A = this chain, B = another copy of it.
Amino acid sequence: MARFLKKRDQETGRSPGSLIFVGQQKTDTPRLRLIDYDQEMLKDDFIDSLDTLSACTDSQSTSWLNIDGLHVPDLMSQVGNLFDLSSLILEDIVNTGQRPKLEEFPDALFVTLKMLSLDEELGRINAEQLSAVLTGNCLITFQEKPGDVFDPVRERLRRQSGRLRRLGADYLLYTLLDCVFENYLKVVEILGERIEEFDEEVLGNPTPDLLEEINLYRREMAYIRKAVRPAREIILKLAKTENEIITPQIAPFIRDLHDMAEQVVDAVDIYREMLNDHLNSYNMAVTNRLNDVMKFLTVFATIFIPLSFLAGVYGMNFEIMPELHYRNGYFILLGIMGTVAAVMLAYFKKRKWI
Residues on A facing B (Cβ under 8 Å): 1-5, 7-8, 10-17, 86, 88, 92, 98-99, 101, 103, 149-153, 155-156, 162-164, 175, 178-179, 182-183, 185-186, 188-189, 192-193, 196, 199, 203, 208, 211-212, 215, 218-219, 222, 226, 230, 252-253, 255-256, 259, 262-263, 266-267, 270-271, 273-274, 277, 279-281, 283-284, 286, 288, 290-291, 293-295, 297-302, 304-309, 311-321, 323-330, 333-334, 351, 353
Min CB gap A149→B, angstroms = 5
Question: Given the complex, which residues of B lie within 8 Å of A99, measured CB to CB?
Answer: 259, 262-263, 266
CA distance A1 to B192 in the complex (A): 10
Question: Given the complex, which residues of B lie within 8 Å of A219, measured CB to CB?
Answer: 199
A223: nearest chain-B partner, CB-CB: B270
Q: What are 11 pairs between A and B in contact, CB < 8 Å?
A: A1-B193, A2-B192, A2-B193, A4-B270, A8-B186, A12-B186, A15-B156, A16-B256, A226-B270, A301-B302, A305-B308
CA distance A215 to B11 in the complex (A): 29
CA distance A88 to B174 in the complex (A): 14
A12: nearest chain-B partner, CB-CB: B182
CA distance A196 to B7 in the complex (A): 13
Q: Are B317 and A189 in contact (CB under 8 A)?
A: no
User: Given that A7-B189, A13-B179, A215-B281 are known contacts, is A316 also in contact with B318, CB under 8 Å in the complex?
Assistant: no
Q: Are A329 and B319 in contact (CB under 8 A)?
A: yes
Q: Are A153 and B13 in contact (CB under 8 A)?
A: yes
CA distance A24 to B300 in the complex (A): 53
Number of copies: 5
Question: Given the complex, which residues of B lie within 8 Å of A286, measured CB to CB?
Answer: 288, 291
Contact of A311 among B149, B212, B313 (CB under 8 A): B313
Q: Are B298 and A295 in contact (CB under 8 A)?
A: no
Question: Given the complex, which residues of B lie within 8 Å of A189, measured CB to CB?
Answer: 2, 5, 7-8
Question: Given the complex, which residues of B lie within 8 Å of A185, measured CB to CB?
Answer: 5, 8
Min CB gap A84→B, angstroms = 14
Contact of A277 among B15, B175, B218, B353 (CB under 8 A): B218
Most central of A16, A334, A351 by chain B CB within 10 Å: A16
A291: nearest chain-B partner, CB-CB: B290
Question: Given the complex, which residues of B lie within 8 Å of A152, measured CB to CB?
Answer: 11-14
Question: Given the complex, which residues of B lie within 8 Å of A283, measured CB to CB?
Answer: 284
Contact of A319 among B149, B196, B324 (CB under 8 A): B324
CA distance A337 to B128 in the complex (A): 65
CA distance A178 to B178 in the complex (A): 34
Min CB gap A224→B, angstroms = 12
Question: Given the complex, which residues of B lie within 8 Å of A353, measured CB to CB?
Answer: 293
Contact of A178 among B16, B86, B270, B317 (CB under 8 A): B16
User: Given that A99-B266, A293-B353 are known contacts, is A315 also in contact with B311, CB under 8 Å in the complex?
Assistant: yes
Question: Given the complex, which residues of B lie within 8 Å of A271, measured CB to CB?
Answer: 4
Q: Are A320 and B330 in contact (CB under 8 A)?
A: yes
A300: nearest chain-B partner, CB-CB: B302
A14: nearest chain-B partner, CB-CB: B152
Across the A-B interface, the 10 shortest Cβ-Cβ residue pairs: A13-B152, A311-B312, A314-B316, A318-B330, A315-B315, A2-B193, A12-B182, A13-B179, A99-B263, A321-B330
